[in-house]
């Protein structure tokens, strides 16, 4: 049976199309595959924490406000530190007067002054004790906080120490001073003055200043609330120095070298080919992003954190924005 030329021609065309299609498909499959990596813009956050236990007297900024380094942000009133400072100043005054009078030998005047100082400290002690007992009872009934009870307890203990010291000075004045008493009074005055200076330095920590220029991100406490040492009151974000963070699979690390530039897309800003300079590659791998199985073989692939900084200032770039990096694998 004879095959017509038309059929042969059709078969030839079909075979040619198949060969052409396979060739194009082969070229496409052989072409390098593009991999898109996703990263995120981040910025350093700074916690503003209380350095003294106390009550927030004033907050001078609002959430979202831009601040400069050194700006006063918060004022904390610490009754505990104030009471300690006043107690030390009282001790210094009493000891100084005692020392001066012991040296001058004016016995009658010395006894009078020492008695007056002792009476004053006794009055302070009685008030502090009454307050402490009242606040302790309220604390047992869960009406006031433990911090408030502790503050009042510290004031009471300081008043007790001041009263004991004043009584000792009065006793010395009344019974007559020996040479060792004079030396003791001078040393007590010196120690009290030193302690007062230490406490005075602590009072400077009642005003918290911005450690950097940035933007106030959060304010955790309000005016009038209690703050303990180390409690975060506010956070400031360093928005002037954003950077890119990206987790890269270990099999792609070969494309990233310290100091090299990468070109990223920032979809939120409609920007492409923005240069970033790699300034950090984690020395340790983290979680696995691809796990091998018995069927697939191979090995688990872990990720390494990479950080990069923009080569120039990018307007409106903010922490949380997505960055895309395309690489040919």
Q: Is the pTM of this model over 0.85?
A: no
- 31-43+240-328 matches 45-76+212-237 in fold: no
Whether 200 has a pLDDT exceeding 80, the answer reads no
SS3 (DSSP) at 87? helix
Predicted confidence at residue 77, as pLDDT, reads: 79
2.40.30.10, 1.10.3720.10, 2.40.50.100, 3.30.1360.30: which CATH number matches 45-76+212-237? 2.40.50.100
Predicted confidence at residue 271, as pLDDT, reads: 94
CATH architecture of 79-205: Orthogonal Bundle (1.10)
Find the mean pLDDT for residues 193-211.
Answer: 70
From 9-13, 136-140, 213-217, 301-305, the region with the lowest mean pLDDT: 9-13
Question: What is the residue extent of each domain of the chain?
Answer: 31-43+240-328, 45-76+212-237, 79-205
The 10s digit of each residue's pLDDT in 28-65 is 554 456 789 999 999 999 999 887 778 888 999 999 99
**Which residues 6+ apart lie within 8 Å of 69 measured at CB?**
209, 210, 211, 212, 213
Whether 136 has a pLDDT exceeding 90, the answer reads no
Find the mean pLDDT for residues 65-82.
Answer: 85
**Which residues 6+ apart lie within 8 Å of 100 measured at CB?**
none
Find the mean pLDDT for residues 103-124.
Answer: 71
CATH of domain 31-43+240-328: 2.40.30.170
The 10s digit of each residue's pLDDT in 273-296 is 999 999 999 988 886 665 554 445
């Amino acid at each position: 049976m004879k095959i017509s030329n038309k059929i042969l021609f059709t078969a030839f065309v079909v075979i040619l199309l198949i060969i052409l299609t396979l060739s194009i498909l082969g070229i496409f499959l052989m072409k390098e595959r593009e991999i898109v990596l996703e990263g995120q813009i981040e910025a350093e956050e700074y916690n503003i924490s209380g350095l003294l236990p106390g009550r927030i007297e004033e907050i001078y900024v609002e959430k979202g406000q831009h601040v400069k380094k050194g700006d006063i942000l918060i004022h904390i009133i610490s009754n505990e530190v104030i009471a300690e400072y006043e107690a030390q100043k009282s001790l210094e005054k009493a000891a100084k007067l005692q020392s001066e009078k012991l040296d001058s030998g004016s016995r009658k005047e010395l006894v009078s002054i020492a008695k007056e100082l002792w009476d004053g400290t006794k009055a302070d002690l009685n008030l502090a004790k009454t307050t402490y007992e009242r606040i302790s009872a309220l604390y047992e009934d869960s009406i006031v906080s433990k911090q408030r009870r502790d503050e009042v307890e510290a004031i009471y203990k300081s008043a007790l120490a001041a009263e004991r010291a004043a009584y000792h000075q009065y006793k010395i004045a009344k019974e007559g001073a020996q040479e060792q008493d004079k030396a003791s009074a001078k040393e007590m005055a010196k120690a009290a003055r030193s302690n007062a200076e230490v406490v005075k330095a602590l009072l400077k920590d009642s005003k918290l200043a911005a450690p950097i220029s940035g933007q106030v991100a959060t304010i955790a406490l309000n005016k009038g609330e209690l703050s303990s040492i180390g409690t975060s009151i506010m956070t400031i974000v360093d928005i002037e120095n954003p950077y890119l963070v990206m987790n890269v699979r270990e099999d792609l690390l070969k494309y990233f070298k310290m100091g090299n530039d990468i070109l990223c897309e920032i979809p939120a800003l409609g920007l492409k080919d923005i240069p970033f300079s790699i300034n950090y590659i984690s020395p340790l791998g983290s979680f696995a992003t691809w796990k091998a199985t018995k069927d697939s073989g191979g090995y688990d692939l872990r990720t390494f954190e990479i950080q990069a900084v923009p080569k120039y200032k990018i307007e409106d770039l903010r922490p949380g924005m997505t960055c895309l990096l395309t690489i040919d694998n």
